[in-house]
Amino acid sequence: MAGIIKERLYTPGPTPLLMEAQLRALTMTLHHRTDAFRALMRETLDNLQYYFNTKNDVIVFASSGTGAMEGAISNLLSPGERVLIGTAGKFGERWVQIAKAYGIESVVVEAPYGHPVPIAEMKKHLDGGKLRAVFIQATESSTGVRNDVQSLGQLVSALPDTCFVVDAITGLGTTGILPDQWGVDLMIGGSQKATMIAPGLSFASVSEKAWKTIENSKLPRYYFDYSKERKTLAKGESSYTPAASLVVTLNAALNYIKQLGRENLIANAALLAEATREAAVALGLTPFAVSSPANAVTSINGPAGIGSTKVVKDMRAGFGAILTDGQGTMQGQMFRIAHLGYYDFLDLLAVLGALEITLHKLGHKMELGSGVRAAQNVYLRQGN
């Protein structure tokens, strides 16, 4: 039947938009060199500190998250310095690529896809603090794995000349991270994730230790100059034209998140992720993330003999539900259902019910309704 089909994003970025935030941008009449914009920017920066759960300055760029990642490398490092990078997937590998682009030698500890970065292995390569920085993802969304930021932070914070950099682009709002207590010196975020708005803004929180390192670093940078941006942002300005409509929506979304509570946003993702994992098991499927699964996104191996690509395709064609396949070499292996940001339990019940129909039609043996029931039991078990 060619009935009504609504498109729904279940992707780990972009994520569903918070309509009340979108509407704020629709009605704005805002020039970015005005007191009104300065006040908005200051409030946004305060809200970002709340969202990041940090007392450190947070800076904002008109760029994707990768821009702020590049800035972390180009601002912290000088030619000839070395870094340690823990990779567990495509986004970890991006740190290696950026370092390489700047001629920075990196020591790489590589976890197999589906596993977190082994912190014991990272410890062996810290090299007595002679490295300038250590890089990791809070959650690796290409595999659906969470890394142990806290343990690595404790190791790195003991080294006075080594900064700890965390890509929390999908970790923020889905994973409890205490950057100030755990010694995270530089933490990156992006707008199209748990902040519930469109792509186009990146964020970085920077510790005093990192600012000191930045003062003395020598790699070239211009657009992503953290110190310059810190100074202009302190006046509520931005060095270059800010993505004003996105700032408006970001601030509105962060106000929503404050009202909801940062911890409740994280608990929401945790509930949805746990319910999805248990639903997958009930449906006779196996997780791609064999240990330490992330709350941001659940990665599930495609059913035996069917693969993931068909599942992703049929979910979209039949139900308008947009899941993601594995990235790069992982394509065909897993499908992923995201939980970061503006998702509620009904969003999950809907996608699981549709997934069951899709699996059934593809010939995967399972009991209809059993995945939904497993998710419902998680909901009830958590005392909801």
Binding interface with a copy of itself (CB under 8 A): 1-6, 8, 26, 260-261, 264-265, 267-268, 271, 318-321, 342-347, 349-354, 356-357, 360-361, 367-373, 375-377, 379-380, 382-384
CA dist 41 and 35 (Å) reads 10
Q: How far is the CB of 372 from a copy of itself (least distance, A)?
A: 5
Of 8 and 115, the one with the shorter C-beta distance to a copy of itself is 8
In terms of CB distance, is 85 or 250 closer to a copy of itself? Answer: 250
Place of tokens 């993931």: 308
Q: Min. distance of Cβ 255 from a copy of itself in angstroms?
A: 15
Nearer to a copy of itself, 284 or 320 (CB): 320
Rounded least distance, CB 299 to a copy of itself, Å: 21
Minimum Å distance from CB 60 to a copy of itself?
24
Closer by beta carbon to a copy of itself, 5 or else 101: 5
Residue number with CB closer to a copy of itself (108 or 267): 267
Handedness of CA 310, 312, 315, 317 (dihedral sign): negative
In the complex, what is the shortest distance from the CB of residue 103 to a copy of itself, in angstroms, rounded to a whole number? 44
Q: 167 vs 347, which CB is nearer to a copy of itself? A: 347
Kindly tell me which of 120 and 380 has the beta carbon lying closer to a copy of itself: 380
Burial of 76 (0-12, 13-18, 19+ CB in 10 A): buried
Q: What are phi and psi of 353, to 5 degrees?
A: -60, -40
- 379: number of Cβ within 10 Å: 17
In the chain, % helix, strand, coil (3-state, to 5) comes to: 45, 15, 40
Nearest approach, Cβ of 375 to a copy of itself (angstroms)?
Answer: 8
CB of 316 to a copy of itself, least distance (A): 12
Question: By C-beta, is 177 or 372 nearer to a copy of itself?
Answer: 372
**Long-range Cβ contacts of 310-318 (<8 Å, 24+ apart):** 310/362, 311/335, 311/355, 311/358, 311/359, 311/362, 314/358, 314/361, 314/362, 315/351, 315/354, 315/355, 315/358, 318/5, 318/354, 318/357, 318/358, 318/361
Which amino acid is located at 280 in the chain? A
Minimum separation from the CB atom of position 264 to a copy of itself (A): 5
Cβ atoms of 194 and 341 within 8 Å: the answer is yes
For residue 63, the Cα-to-chain-centroid distance in whole angstroms is: 15
- Provide the CA 139 distance to its chain's centre, in angstroms: 6
Q: How far is CA 5 from the centre of its chain?
A: 28
